[in-house]
Structure 1
């Protein structure tokens, strides 16, 4: 593969990035070729030493999406980063997707439980309308509401720290995959 083919493949794989980002990346790789040519290497040798342009693009996209998540943490940015990291390799489906689904399930169930507890006093209104109101139900629902508020406060911090931890895990995964590809 010569320089033109390499850069064309790399650019084609980076379509989801902005034009400026792509130009910066392509300029860096053009410099690699220029330095290699000064060292009297052929374009094919330089391209072979750089690696597969599609894999390079996957690594760059994964790093880019993780940087975006660090700047603006949102559900959509996290999902993009997770999918980009999963795209790095076949085994990442298991290594990244399974923990991600488990964490999402844990966080979702915690938030759902806290909302259900907080809304439990609404059940008292239902009991009033159907004529089965008991004072013990009132105290029980108020207690559950208080517990729900504490669970929600805890879930706020749990969500925050699990998100940071998972982003760190994704970074580790990218580093591990890059190292494994270079040395394997």
Structure 2
């Protein structure tokens, strides 16, 4: 293989790169040939020391794509962040806000139910003096069952609310990371 064959083959493997980058790489390898020939090596010795053009091109392409990912212009980053903010905002508005409001309403109604169940013994105690003693005892007994159910509901709702709150905070943080570009 000659120098020209080597450079032409390398050029054919670098066709995915912009022309200016191709020219820079080819210029570097021409410099390698000039230094090798200046040291008394033959073209085939220089080619052997450089390696196969296909492997060189793969390394150059990999370096190019890695470098292309790193520097992100501030304006493109802002555009991407704005785009992600709008997209996540619409997604959250359409798919999450309605169900979340309904969920909050249901949890709130369960809290109200728990409070009402806990207040039933007060009503039963007041009615104990109005109705017959047998009915009053039965009402008092049922009201204590309602008090137990209300306290259990209250405790369960508190734990459930803490779990939902923690999930909600994690979801907000994940949205923030997506908008900043940290999550992939």
Q: Which structure is larger by alpha-carbon Rg, 1 or 2?
A: 2
TM-score, normalised to structure 2's length?
0.50
TM-score, normalised via structure 1 length? 0.50
